[in-house]
Amino acid sequence: MGMTITEKLLARAAGKEAVSAGELIMAKVDFCLGNDITAPVAIDEFEKAGFDSVFDPARIALIPDHFTPNKDIKSATLVKQMREFARRFHIEHFYEVGRVGVEHALLPELGLVGPGDVVVGADSHTCTYGALGAFATGVGSTDLAGAMATGRVWFRVPASVKFEFSGAPGPFLTGKDFILYLIGEIGVDGALYEAMEFTGPAIAGLSMDSRFSMANMAIEAGAKNGIFAADATTKAYVKGRFRRESLYAYSDTDAVYARVYAWDASRIPLMVAKPHLPGNAAAAADLNDIAVDQVVIGSCTNGRIEDLRQAAEVLRGRKVHKDVRCIVIPATQAVWRQAMTEGLFEVFLEAEAVVSAPTCGPCLGGHMGILAPGERAVSTTNRNFIGRMGHPTSEVYLAGPYVAAASAVAGHVATPQQVGLKAPGAQEAVAAGVPDKGERSAR
């Protein structure tokens, strides 16, 4: 009987010829990571257990990205604990302000994770690296402590679910729309402790940045991991970047899947997830009556250079609505520099948006864009739970950069076409339903 990509990677990590869904294994990890919320707890557990060494100082990353630049004394103290631990154990990959980025954008960018890896991180969105053909999953801080010391973690092999996308996506559609549509179809527990394998002709046409967005949100369907088979796009991304030898794994033709879903991408509209679950999905064009107070473009889901280019495409020559705060957060220093070099910052500033240093900040209600009671935001982040970005009565609408930027211009949830952006190849823009400049749709 054949194996899926996920099963092959876990079999290798366990030193076994084969594994199957439900099997308990002890797996060797290729890389592990923690951030300024989770790593300090892991360090406490590491020290309580009496460990006096790490398994490999070159295969651990400690990334203070959630509350940085440090927003208060407590956050500064947590980073200080990480810094001292990194110095004590000669951990190579500790990056602070000036070098740091949002962890799940930074690690692939630096070539620290790649095809064939087994990666664990004390952050639920560690599943992002599945875009590279890696098995990557979030773990608790205690598991991270054990992984840092021993380089090994227990797993129950997840069953795999295949998600096939065919057809040609419509204008402005990205991986964020694919994954919001998917979660809307199966629900936030639709792939509970399962491996989500993304495939099909429409997937093959997606950029790496779109694939990162999709893998990032696998956890929002309850999955253990999300994964893509490596192809020419993957290989071009890791060439000259990944610091170790790539291992390319592919599912066998007779691999066993718990379920198979198939969708035509040409039928997927630009999507939004309404409060208060990522699975509460709807077409953006149907939500023009939803006025917004803030737009956030960034995060580990959509803070890469392609995301910023898409936002700039909408904002170029337009102004952010007078009643909206628009915050743009490049995910890493390299993305920040590239955006500046390409002139994207000029676009954002002319549009009257603000550009931040790399941080997770507003995504988890940390800083750099907290919502007041009753306020609404359109955000390119990955979660819209109650109180996620601020006050419990605030609301978050998840979307991709095109919809987020269009909403910033319109003052309400909108598509790029609705603010006058022509679709590629279109003869004329569709601007129906957009209030006159200075007007604002009712709540």
Ordered by start, the domain boundaries in the chain are 5-263, 272-419
What is the separation of C-alpha 343 from the centre of its chain, rounded to a whole number of angstroms?
24
The tokens describing 121, both together, are: 């991180």
The tokens describing 106, both together, are: 């930074």
**Fold held by 272-419:** Aconitase; domain 3 (3.30.499)
Helices 333-341 and 103-110, axial angle in degrees (round to 10): 80
Identical fold for domains 5-263 and 272-419, yes or no, is: yes
Q: Residue 160, SS3? A: strand
> How many CB atoms within 10 Å of residue 62?
28
| Closest C-alpha among 203, 196, 197, 199 to residue 169 | 203
Please give the Cα distance from 293 to 377 (Å, whole number): 6
pLDDT score of 383: 92
The parts of the chain modelled with pLDDT lower than 70 are 425-443
The CATH code belonging to domain 5-263 is 3.30.499.10
Give the alpha-carbon dihedral of 46, 51, 56, 57, to 10 degrees. 60
Do 90 and 57 meet the contact criterion of CB atoms below 8 Å apart? yes
**Terminal CA-to-CA distance of the chain, rounded, Å?**
56
Please give the Cα distance from 441 to 291 (Å, whole number): 6
pLDDT score of 425: 57
Residue type, 113: V
- Mention every residue, 6+ apart, whose C-beta is less than 8 A from residue 377: 292, 293, 294, 295, 296, 369, 371, 389, 394, 395, 396, 397
pLDDT score of 172: 96
Supply φ then ψ for residue 65, to 5 degrees. Answer: -125, -15
Do 129 and 215 meet the contact criterion of CB atoms below 8 Å apart? yes
